Chain A
Amino acid sequence: MDKKRMVEKVAQCLVEASTRFRPDQIKKYEEAISKEDNPEARWVLEKILEDAQIAEAKGIPLCDDTGIPHVFIEFGEGIKINSKLDTAIREGISSGLQGLPGRPMAVKGEPLERLEQSKGLYKESEALLPATFLYRPFLGKGLNITVLMLGGGPEIRSKTFRVFHKHDSKNVITQAGQWAKEVSGQLGCTPCVPAIGIGRTHYEATVLMLEAMKEGSLDQQSEFEKLVTEIVNESKVGPLGLGGKITALGSFIKIGPQRASGVRIVCMRPGCCFDPRRASTIIE
């Protein structure tokens, strides 16, 4: 495996995630514009689509909060996972942030200084460290790397907590949808795309939520995903809080193993109008 080539491909992947809407996002926005009869809300949706066209044409960020990189590494048969591979992917992320360029928002200092942000920020975009990598095996060959860029607005309005299922799965999904509905008005960057993970522990629920963002498609929505979208749209918050039919474009849900218990651990991230900012690259 050529290290230089891998660094380039990961960097391109990060830039693509940050600058391009995928076809399912474009299609969903076009549908939303045709459905929305609130003129101000429709104007916002049109501007977001125009933004995506300019971002792709110029190769510049969709949003100035370029986000924290979250990286999934899926490895097939024969791929050796070692520090060389990990280092090459890290260099690719760094190179991508430099090239994008990402918002220079890495905080300087020792742990407590970082908490209070008393030592300022690094000037370099690439000083921003990615979140802990997630490695997964898959049946097949090669390496599949997915980069998700997670902005701050949805992060400060996310929630991981327990939900009583009362022996009906709909209770769990409905509660998660209510959480998304409650925060949609504070989000500002609506229409949103809530992502939900349901597992046995907080760690597992959060990883499942991220996997839902990694795998979900706005074109292929399950009945439960449609239910969450309907609950959020009942809020009538609308794009940018201006009212209207479209508060959520769609939802992503992933359910993992469950433990013998009356409660489930649910992670809900409301998402924003550019979510999920993601791209994948296959390395043979």
Chain B
Amino acid sequence: MIILQTPISEADIDRLKIRDKIEMKGTIYTGRDAVLPQLVKLLQEHPKEVKIDLQGGVIFHTAVSPAGIGPTSSNKLEIEGSIGPLSEKGIKVHLGKGALKKETIQALDKYNAIFAITPPVTALLTAKILSKEIAMFPEEGIEALYRLEVSAIPAIVAIAHGKSIFS
């Protein structure tokens, strides 16, 4: 098991390979269908309005509701489309589930970022949340962009350095 403490460095990513089991600790962000396209647009058009630090960051593709957290399918258009642009801006780990397109695998490689997957184990994942707060887009409710402090979110590296566990 490899422990990744945020912010995650370029060297942290360099040593990872597909099939590695990881645990993420520290500050992570959440986002899915509703906010990720908005975040990308804001970064392109009004970057100063982005109130989160993307460098070395983790984006977990999940809603945050009273029922807890759990990965949604990352290959939905709105989510997968955000992976390249957010990697370019410094996000190092995109966490969700499902296979991604060749173009996305290439974009991750280009910006030295990875895609990790975790099962929809809500009780286990929710137990790892130490604190949570809405960081951006509060109007999106359970799909708002949250800042979570987490103790150890487990995952498997699915895509890294141009290789995919799904191919």
Contact = CB atoms under 8 A, between A and B. Distances in A.
Interface in B119-145: 119-124, 126-127, 141-142
Given A50-B121, A51-B124, A60 B156 contact: no
B21 A43 contact: yes
B81 interface: no
A186 B166 CA distance: 12
B97 A51 contact: no
Interface in A244-270: none
Nearest to B165: A242
A127 interface: no
Given A40-B19, A60-B68, A103-B67, A51 B122 contact: yes
Contact of B119 (A105, A120, A239): A239
A51 B118 CA distance: 12
A101 interface: yes
B98 interface: yes
Given A47-B154, A103-B142, A188-B98, A64 B117 contact: no
A63 B72 CA distance: 11
Given A58-B127, A60-B126, A123-B141, A273 B119 contact: yes
Interface string A51-74: 110110010111111100000000
A50 B142 contact: no
A189 interface: yes
A203 B141 CA distance: 35
A241 B166 contact: yes
A64 B122 contact: yes
A105 B66 CA distance: 11
Nearest to B139: A120
A69 B126 CA distance: 22
B6 interface: no
A60 B98 contact: no
Nearest to A117: B34
A125 B66 contact: yes
A51 B123 contact: yes
B27 interface: no
Interface of B: 19, 21, 62-63, 65-70, 73, 97-99, 117-124, 126-127, 141-142, 154, 156, 165-166
Given A40-B156, A100-B67, 4 more contacts: A54-B123, A63-B120, A64-B68, A66-B67
3 nearest CB pairs, A to B? A51-B121, A55-B123, A64-B70
